[in-house]
Structure 1
Amino acid sequence: MKVARIPYLNAEPFHYGWGAGPPFDVVEMVPSELGEAARSGVIDAGLMAAADYFTVDGTFDLVSPPLGIAARGRVRSVILLAHDPPRRLDGKRIGVTGESSTSKRLLHLLAHARWKIDATWVPESEIEGPPTEAVDALLLIGDRALTAVASGDLEGWGQAIDLATEWWAWQGVPFVFAVWAVRQAVPRRERERFAGFLSGSLAVGSEHLADIAKAHAGSLGGEDVLRAYLEDFSYRLGAAEREGLRRFRDLLAEHDIQEYAQSRV
């Protein structure tokens, strides 16, 4: 069984109990790569971007009980660095990191339905020269976003717009960035063992958030800041998180941003 591992700090509580030799093969990849690996059959399980889970056409299921990464309000690691407030970005150029799957769709949704702007989307790989000069805003996620916020000067940008804060202010339900999903073709008993292992590892990690924060303190921020960051997430998905997941899925379809094949949320 091949399991994808996301190399971001907010996923570390799940990994804390894995040790040096977990009972499965581990493949490290960013969220956008994980989605493609799931569709092409390369991996059997992973912390899958919510937007990708919607499109894997019934070949993956959520682990039971559901686990993932969700937030009610600010997260600090999904930010739009910009020279102007979001509603003043109409007609502007917005750079988008290539690591993202869910966050870039959340950004498109917010731009279209909440901020009412029409922007030109520029893949970060196509930006030439300093981003602060080449584009008017730039979406960053994960540890790169944390580093930018911790830098103090936002790396030359005027402001950092937290997309999870924008979603909460708009919809009033948690935003689910990623879900643990496992391929349906994996034998049921093996899926159940994996879900149990994952839940147990999270229980251990949740008791050691201070240790995780200490191990990553530095360019991402100080220990206290990173511990508070980790504590802001919900890792066990309850009814409110499931509602947030459904609402995001339906809004993406309603605004013609992404159709979905996966309805079991």
Structure 2
Amino acid sequence: MEKIRFGCHSFLNAKPIINYLLQKKEYKDKIDLFLGSPSEISDKLLAAELDIGFIPSIEFLKNDNLYLLPDFSISAYGKVMSVLLISEKEIKDIENILLDTRSRTSIVLLNIILKKKYGITPSFITPLEGGEKKRYDARLLIGDEALEFTYEKKGKEAGKIIDLAEEWHEITGLPFVFAVIASRKKEVPKQFLKILKESRDRGIKNIEEIAEGEYKTCNIKKEALIDYLKNRIDYFLTDKEIEGLKAFQEISFKKGLIETKYDFTFATAI
């Protein structure tokens, strides 16, 4: 097998999938692992700087030249704790929101929920536009920062807090798929899939060990990390996750958030 350039986001929820890739020397001879934000991974994959990447689901839905790897995702069946809308106002009164642009999927999901459930279309501000210096009514918080906000009760005085995955599940009854693994080529080496599956399965079995190593470098208690990684995140891509991904595609298309809708094409193992 030629060495695979594989990109994965560096948020905590990916640790059970990549932890053993980082630890095992024999994996390093076969996989060149790049860590970055979800949007960075997507950009590098589309620019052919990566062969395979764990990318935001919205980026997969926008690009019909990518192939979906079976059996892998970052999904949630309800409250996820790491993708939040935090508002000082009642939701119906929000006029503008400061975004976190590292996760494009979360931005589209936020747009859908605000339109579909609350009937509002606030303006969005990004940090690049000087958003953090402007006054805003609400803020999209994602990743490890959102986890600290949730588990360590830093947000208890913040006013309204909405968990976007929980809102999606209430609206659709389906899991929300935040990220999938996609390939630029239809054919993917069996050995790569075997290594990735082995890494994920071992990671899931050893979440307590992963939490033990991670909590010392973040502001989240070990017990909270275990709850998040074990009970809030799903790491597979079953028929149910595919159904959730297709629902996300359908709603995004109808609301004009993606330009086209196409059938998913799965990568094949060789």
Query: Do they fold alike, i.e. is TM over 0.5?
Result: yes
Query: How much does 1:97 deviate?
Result: 0.6
Task: Give the Cα–Cα distance (whole angstroms) in 2 for the partners of residues 128 and 251 of structure 1.
Answer: 28
Code of the aligned partner of 2:32: D
Task: Give the Cα–Cα distance (whole angstroms) in 1 for the partners of residues 185 and 19 of structure 2.
Answer: 26
Gap regions ≥5 residues in structure 1: none
2:149 aligned residue: 148
Q: Give the SS at the match of 1:236.
A: coil
Task: Give the Cα–Cα distance (whole angstroms) in 1 for the partners of residues 183 and 50 of structure 2.
Answer: 9
Matched, 1:254 2:259: no
1:24 aligned residue: 31
Q: 1:248 to 1:129 in 2, by over 3 A?
A: closer
The equivalences for 1:188-207 within 5 A come to 188=187, 190-207=188-205
Code of the aligned partner of 1:194: F
Task: Give the Cα–Cα distance (whole angstroms) in 2 for the partners of residues 238 and 118 of structure 1.
Answer: 33
Task: Give the Cα–Cα distance (whole angstroms) in 2 for the partners of residues 94 and 121 of structure 1.
Answer: 5
Select which of 40, 53, 57 maps to 1:46.
Answer: 53
Matched, 1:212 2:219: no
Matched, 1:126 2:129: yes
1:264 aligned residue: 264
Query: How much does 1:220 deviate?
Result: 4.0
Task: Give the Cα–Cα distance (whole angstroms) in 2 for the partners of residues 57 and 171 of structure 1.
Answer: 25
Query: How much does 1:46 deviate?
Result: 1.4
> Residue 8 of structure 2 contacts residue 38 of structure 2 at CA under 8 Å; is this kept in 1?
no
2:268 aligned residue: none
Query: How much does 1:39 deviate?
Result: 1.5
Q: Name the Cα RMSD after superposition.
A: 1.9
Code of the aligned partner of 2:104: S
Task: Give the Cα–Cα distance (whole angstroms) in 1 for the partners of residues 203 and 77 of structure 2.
Answer: 20
Equivalent pairs, count: 256
Select which of 8, 12, 22 maps to 2:15.
Answer: 12
Task: Give the Cα–Cα distance (whole angstroms) in 2 for the partners of residues 155 and 181 of structure 1.
Answer: 38
| Per-residue deviation, residues 1-47 of structure 1 (Å, max 9, x unmatched) | 21112111000010122125432112121011122112211111111
Gap regions ≥5 residues in structure 2: 266-270
1:223 aligned residue: 222
Query: How much does 1:151 deviate?
Result: 4.2
1:112 aligned residue: 115
> Residue 79 of structure 2 contacts residue 166 of structure 2 at CA under 8 Å; is this kept in 1?
yes
Taking structure 1 as the reference length, what is the TM-score of the superposition?
A: 0.90
Q: 1:130 to 1:81 in 2, by over 3 A?
A: farther
Q: Give the SS at the match of 1:54.
A: helix
Identity %: 27
Code of the aligned partner of 2:87: A
Task: Give the Cα–Cα distance (whole angstroms) in 2 for the partners of residues 165 and 97 of structure 1.
Answer: 19
> Residue 56 of structure 1 contacts residue 261 of structure 1 at CA under 8 Å; is this kept in 2?
no
Task: Give the Cα–Cα distance (whole angstroms) in 2 for the partners of residues 128 and 168 of structure 1.
Answer: 30
Q: 1:181 to 1:8 in 2, by over 3 A?
A: same
Q: Give the SS at the match of 2:67.
A: strand
Task: Give the Cα–Cα distance (whole angstroms) in 2 for the partners of residues 227 and 85 of structure 1.
Answer: 32
> Residue 96 of structure 2 contacts residue 136 of structure 2 at CA under 8 Å; is this kept in 1?
yes
Q: 1:238 to 1:220 in 2, by over 3 A?
A: farther
Task: Give the Cα–Cα distance (whole angstroms) in 1 for the partners of residues 196 and 236 of structure 2.
Answer: 11
